Chains A and B, each alone.
Chain A
Amino acid sequence: MLIRLAGGEVVDPANGLTGKRDVWIKDGFVVEKPVSKRADKTYDVSGCLIMAGAIDIHSHIGGGNVNTARLLLPEQHAAHLKRPLHTPLSNAGWSTFSTGCLYAQMGFTTVVEPAMSPSNALHTHMELADIPIIDKATLAILGNDDFLLSMIRDDASPAMIDDYVAWTVSRSRALGVKVINAGAAAAFKENVRNFAFDDVVPSYGVSSRRIVETLQASVGRLGIPHPLHVHANNLGIAGNAATAAETIQASAGQPLHLAHLQFYGYGTEGKRGFSSEAARLAELVNGNRDVTIDVGQVMFGQTVTISSDVTRQYAGMRTAHPKKSIIFDGDGNGGGIVPYRYRKDYYGSLQWAVGLELFLLIDDPWRVFFTTDHPNGAPFTAYPELFELLMSRDARNAKMAELDRSALELTTLGSISREYTLEEVAVMTRAAPARLLGLDDRGHLGPGAIADIAVYRKGQDIQKMFRDAALVFKDGDLVVRDGVVTHYRWGRALRLNPPPDKGMIKRMQAYHEERYGLSLDWFTFPDSAIARENPFAEVACRS
C-alpha cells in the first residue's frame, strides 16, 4: 500500500531535510515520491511536525530486576492507574502491555533495555516480546562475572576476551555490552562496601579501571556499533563528579558511552556538602569527542530505583520509600530494588537542576541523550514535561520557583538561556540514537528507512504535543491516532549475532558443567522458546 503524509513540516536532521514536504510510505519503508502514482491512502498532516519514530537508548523496561520491582510494589501500580491525570506517575504503567502502548503514544518506536544479565536472557526476551508495537533491544551486562574477571586476572589474550564477549552477546541476543560499577558486585559479595575506579576486586586483584578498559577495547575490536555502555562507580555520592571525570579521561581516544551522567554530577560544596558539578562535567564532555552520555534526568514524585549496581542499592536501602526493598546476589551480577520518592527539597532540587544543566551545557545534541534512566530518575511518561523544560526557559523558570532556592543557587541553571530547537530534539531522540546504536534503518526519514514515523500536532503546549502524537506509524502500520493506540502489533528485538568461536563454546560447556553441575543447555535457549514469529532482527557488526 502506498501512503502519503501530505502537507506536514518534516524535521529530519540526519538527512539535512527539514522543511515542508510530503512523506511517502510503501510496504513498511519510506520511499521517494513515486512518479505518476497516486497514494492508496493520504493523511492530511498540515499543521503537524513529522519526525522519525523516537529511540530511547536507556530505559529499564523488562527483565528480572524490573519484574521483581513490579512484584515488590503492587501498590505503586494501583497508584499509577488511579491517580488523577497531571500528577506524577498518573499514567505510568508497569506491565509489558502498557509499556508498549505508552511509549507508542508519545511517538517512540524503539527502546533499549540497558541492563540484561546474560544468565537471565530468556526471561528478559520473553518480557520484551510481550511489549507490543515497539522494537526493543538489550545490552548484556559483563564485568562482574567470574569468567571474565578470571581471564583478566590471568592476562588472557585479547582474542580470548573477544571470543567470550562475542559468545555472550550472541547467546543472550544483545545489541551491545554494558558494564555496571565494574567489579563492585563481585567485591560486594566479599563485603566491600565502597568501590572506586582504581579499587580492585579482592579475589581477582583486578581493578575497575582495567575491567572497563578491557571491555571497551573488546567492543571496539568486535565491531559492536554501540560503544561500551558504562555505569560508572560511586553513583549518587557527593563528590562523585571526580569519578565521572576519571572515567571520561579513561576513554583514551576510543568511543565510550557514560550512562545517566546526572547521577555523577555532584560536588561537595555548600552547607550540606552536596553541590552541582554539572558545568565541569559538561565542559569535559564538550572537550572529548569520543564520549557520549545520557542524562538520567530526575523528575519529582514517587518512583522505584532498579539497578544491578547492588553496592549502590544496598547503600540506598535506608532511604527506601515505602520501607521495603530487595537486594539480590546473582551469578555474575547483583541487583537492588529500592522504591524512592524525589521530593522538592534541597537534594531533589539539586538533582533535578544537575540533569538540566547537563542537557543545556553540553553543546552537541549528537552526544547527549534523552533519558530519565526510567524508572530511576523518573518514569518515562515524564518525557513530555522534560521536553518542555528543555525547549522553554519560561517553563524552567516557573518550575524553579517551586524548588529549593539554596540548592539552585549552587547550580548554573538560572543563568542558562538555551532552548532546544525542534531540530535538536530530533537529533537527540532520533538521529543520534540510531547512529550510536548502529541502526542505519531508523532515526531518519530518508528513502529506505523503515517507516517508523511520529506526527505531532504543532501547538504552544509542548507537553501536549509530545504526550499525544497525532499519528504514529510502526513499520508503515498506523498504530496511534490522536494519542490513542488504534492497532496492536508485535515488534522485534534487535540483536547482534557475532559468530561464536567453537573453542569458546567448548570452554563454556566445560565451565558450566564444572562450576554449576549443569549442562550449557540450562543457560541457553532457541529462538523458538520466545513463541513469537520472528522475535529477533539482526543488526550487523561493523567490519
Chain B
Amino acid sequence: MVAWIGSRTVPLPAAIEHVAKLLAKSRCPVFSLDSDVHGCRSLIALAERVGATYDHVNGRDLAHEVALHTDIGGFFATATEVRRRADVIVIVGDIPAAHHDLLLSLAATKPDLSRAAGRRWFRINGKGGPALEGELRRRAKVVEVGAPDLPIDAVLGILRASLGGRRTPAALTDIDALLGALGKASFPVFVFSRPTDPASLAMLQGMLIDINRKQRASALFLPSDDDAWGMVLASTWMTGFPPRTGFSTGSPVYDPWLCDIDRMIAAKEADLYLWVSERDEARPPRRGGLPTIALVRSDRPFSGAAVTVRIGKAGLDHDGVVYSSRIGTLRAATATAPSDLPSVAAIAGELQHALQSEDMASC
C-alpha cells in the first residue's frame, strides 16, 4: 500500500492522477519540502510548472541560516580542513545533536597540518544557553567562556572588543584563557549552528574580519539540518535563489517574507498544500480547510489529507545525493535497504507527466 485518496487505498497511478488534477486546478499552491537533493530538484521543477511557492519543512530555521549568507557573508572552512588544521576550536552557542559525532571525531584527532601538538577547545555561551553535551565536554576538555546573565551576541561583542584591546562593560569567565589561546593559534576555528540570532552572526563574522587582519581564523558552519542545506544548494543553482522562492509570476521570485509558507497559509493566500518529508513518522501540520497532499514515510494515510503517498528514503530505499557537513559538500548516498517504495523524484516525474495530460485536457 503506497497511496491513499482520503482514507481510501488506491493504486499509485490513481493517486498521481488525482494530485495532478489538484495541482492543475490550484491558483496558489505551496510546497513544504524535505528530501534529498534529487527529490528537491524534482519538486522545485514541479513548483515552476504549476506556479507554486516552495520552502523547506523547517523553513523558519533555514531562513536564518540563509540570511547569514545573503546578508553578511564571512569566513568559512570545511570540516575536513578543520580536522587537519585547526589548533583552537571555539564552539559558539548550541550545536545540534546531529553534529555531535563530528565534534567528537575532531576531539579524538590532532591537526596534522599544524605545528601545534593538539587542539584547545572553548565554548562561548550566554544567558539561557544549554549546557554542553557531557561526552564532548569531557573528551575535549572544553573551557566555557561567557556570562550567565548576558545574551550570546553581547558575549561575542565583549570578546570582540577584548580581542581589539578595547574596554568592555562586563567580564567573561575564562576570557583570558581564550584570548591567550587565540593569540598563539595558527588557525583557530569558530564552530556555530542553529543561528536564531542574526546579531550574533554579524558579531562573529565581524570578529573574524578583525582577527584575519593579522592572523588566520575561520568558521565552521554546521547547518541545523544537512538535508535542508542540500535543498538550499539545489534551489540556488536551479533558480538563482535559496528557498522561500515562488513562481507565481512565471519567473522565480525570492522574498523571505512574501514566500513564507506559514504566512501564506495563515493569510489564506494558499489554496493547496504539498507537504513532503522522507523522515520516519514525520507528519504535516494540520491546516484546517486547506487541501493537503502528503508525501510521507508512513503506512497509513494522513488524517485529513486529500492524498497521501508513501515514499522511500534516499540512502535507504533508493540511491540519492545529500549534503554532508562532514565533507562540506554533496555526497552520493547508496541505498542500504533497497525497496520498491517510490522516490520523491520518481513521483514528481510522474506528476510532470500527468500534468502534460492535464494541460492537453484543458485545451
Name A's B-contacting residues (CB within 8 A): 62, 64, 66-68, 70-74, 77-78, 81, 93-98, 119-120, 122-123, 126-127, 130, 146, 188-191, 203, 314, 324-331, 337, 515-518, 521-526, 528-529, 531
Q: Closest residue to A76 on the B side, CB-wise?
A: B240
The 16 listed contacts between A and B (C-beta, < 8 Å) are A70-B236, A71-B66, A72-B73, A77-B240, A95-B238, A314-B212, A327-B74, A327-B212, A328-B75, A328-B77, A329-B75, A329-B77, A330-B81, A524-B332, A529-B332, A531-B321
Interface range for B: 35 or more
| Nearest chain B CB to A195 CB, angstrom units | 14
Q: Which residues of A lie under 8 Å from residue B187 when comparing CB positions?
A: 189
The answer to whether A331 touches B252 (Cβ under 8 A) is no
Q: Which residues of B lie under 8 Å from residue A68 when comparing CB positions?
A: 69
The answer to whether A331 touches B233 (Cβ under 8 A) is no
Return the 3 tightest CB-CB contacts between A and B, nearest first.
A94-B240, A529-B332, A525-B332
- The CB with the most chain A CB atoms within 10 A, among B41, B78, B109, B326, is that of B78
**Cα A441 to Cα B76 with chains together (Å):** 42
The answer to whether B76 touches A329 (Cβ under 8 A) is yes
B239 at the interface (CB under 8 A from A): yes
**Cα A531 to Cα B105 with chains together (Å):** 32
User: In chain B, residues 233-282, which have Cβ atoms closer than 8 Å to a Cβ of chain A?
Assistant: 233-234, 236-242, 251-252, 254
The answer to whether A122 touches B233 (Cβ under 8 A) is no
Q: Closest residue to B187 on the A side, CB-wise?
A: A189
- The CB with the most chain B CB atoms within 10 A, among A70, A78, A518, A526, is that of A70
Q: Which residues of A lie under 8 Å from residue B73 when comparing CB positions?
A: 72, 324-326, 337
**Cα A524 to Cα B331 with chains together (Å):** 8
| Nearest chain B CB to A157 CB, angstrom units | 24
Q: Which residues of A lie under 8 Å from residue B74 when comparing CB positions?
A: 326-327
B125 at the interface (CB under 8 A from A): no
Q: Which residues of B lie under 8 Å from residue A517 when comparing CB positions?
A: 83, 105, 109
Q: Given A97-B238, A120-B329, A146-B113, A67 and B212 touching (CB < 8 A)?
A: no
Name A331's contact: one of B71, B80, B331 (CB within 8 Å).
B80
**Cα A130 to Cα B240 with chains together (Å):** 12
Q: Which residues of B lie under 8 Å from residue A524 when comparing CB positions?
A: 332
**Cα A221 to Cα B279 with chains together (Å):** 50
Q: Given A70-B237, A71-B236, A81-B251, A330 and B328 touching (CB < 8 A)?
A: yes
**Cα A127 to Cα B187 with chains together (Å):** 32
| Nearest chain A CB to B319 CB, angstrom units | 7
B218 at the interface (CB under 8 A from A): yes
The B contact surface, by secondary structure, is mixed
The answer to whether A531 touches B38 (Cβ under 8 A) is yes
**Cα A535 to Cα B80 with chains together (Å):** 28
Name B327's contact: one of A93, A119, A531 (CB within 8 Å).
A119
Q: Which residues of A lie under 8 Å from residue B321 when comparing CB positions?
A: 122, 126, 525, 529, 531
| Nearest chain B CB to A496 CB, angstrom units | 21
14 extra interchain contacts, Cβ-Cβ under 8 A, other than A326-B74, A330-B80, A331-B80? A72-B69, A95-B237, A98-B240, A122-B332, A126-B234, A126-B330, A324-B71, A329-B218, A330-B77, A331-B81, A516-B83, A521-B332, A521-B334, A523-B331
B186 at the interface (CB under 8 A from A): yes
The answer to whether A331 touches B70 (Cβ under 8 A) is no
The answer to whether B69 touches A67 (Cβ under 8 A) is no
Q: Which residues of A lie under 8 Å from residue B212 when comparing CB positions?
A: 314, 327
| Nearest chain B CB to A485 CB, angstrom units | 15
The answer to whether A522 touches B76 (Cβ under 8 A) is no
| Nearest chain B CB to A102 CB, angstrom units | 12
User: In chain B, residues 91-133, which have Cβ atoms closer than 8 Å to a Cβ of chain A?
Assistant: 105, 109, 112-113
- The CB with the most chain A CB atoms within 10 A, among B76, B83, B330, is that of B330
| Nearest chain B CB to A39 CB, angstrom units | 31
The answer to whether A74 touches B332 (Cβ under 8 A) is no
B287 at the interface (CB under 8 A from A): no
- The CB with the most chain A CB atoms within 10 A, among B81, B187, B237, is that of B237
B177 at the interface (CB under 8 A from A): no
**Cα A74 to Cα B186 with chains together (Å):** 34
**Cα A531 to Cα B112 with chains together (Å):** 37
| Nearest chain B CB to A213 CB, angstrom units | 24
B184 at the interface (CB under 8 A from A): no
- The CB with the most chain B CB atoms within 10 A, among A74, A95, A326, A337, is that of A74
Per-residue A-contact encoding for B49-75, CB less than 8 Å = 1, 0 else: 000000000000000001001111111
Q: Closest residue to B77 on the A side, CB-wise?
A: A329
B141 at the interface (CB under 8 A from A): no
**Cα A515 to Cα B111 with chains together (Å):** 9
